[in-house]
């Protein structure tokens, strides 16, 4: 798509991993809202009060604040240890997939 200039620094260390993290986080928000709409409840004890007080906008803000935190941590760690930073990013993706999978199961039972 866009070619990097020779010697130019990449804006972020793990853009592919961050794309997947954002994708699964957005999917988590959407599926959580569907589960709640169908009568389910939020099992995350940190997110539940946010949802009760602020609704969907609060849920979106909360989730993407967490995504931003994960990206910042991966960038900080990755600049010191690239392998550890990548592993953190992949772990973040894996952890985000868990509630997505649970939501799919709840919606198809």
Measured distance CA(100)–CA(38) in Å, rounded: 16
Q: Report residue 100's pLDDT band, with 50, 70 and 90 as the boundaries.
A: very high
Measured distance CA(65)–CA(94) in Å, rounded: 18
| Residues 30-86: tens digit of each pLDDT | 999 999 999 999 999 999 999 999 999 999 999 999 999 999 999 999 999 999 999
Q: Report residue 9's pLDDT band, with 50, 70 and 90 as the boundaries.
A: confident
Residue 3, pLDDT > 70, answer no
Measured distance CA(101)–CA(86) in Å, rounded: 23
Torsion of CA 25, 27, 13, 62, to 10 degrees: -20
Instruction: Map residue 73 onto helix, strand or coil.
Output: helix
Q: What percent of the chain has pLDDT above 70?
A: 93
Residue 7, pLDDT > 90, answer no
Q: Please give the pLDDT value at position 2.
A: 55
- Residue pair 95/69 in contact by the 8 Å Cβ criterion: no
């Amino acid at each position: 798509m866009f070619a990097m200039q020779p010697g130019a620094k990449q804006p972020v260390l793990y853009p592919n991993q961050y794309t997947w993290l954002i994708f699964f986080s957005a999917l988590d928000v959407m599926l959580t809202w569907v589960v709640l709409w169908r009568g389910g409840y939020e099992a995350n004890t940190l997110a539940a009060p946010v949802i009760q007080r602020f609704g969907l906008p609060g849920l979106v803000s909360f989730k993407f604040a967490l995504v931003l935190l994960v990206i910042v941590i991966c960038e900080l760690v990755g600049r010191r240890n690239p392998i550890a930073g990548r592993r953190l990013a992949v772990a973040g993706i894996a952890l985000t997939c868990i509630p997505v999978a649970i939501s799919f199961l709840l919606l198809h039972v």
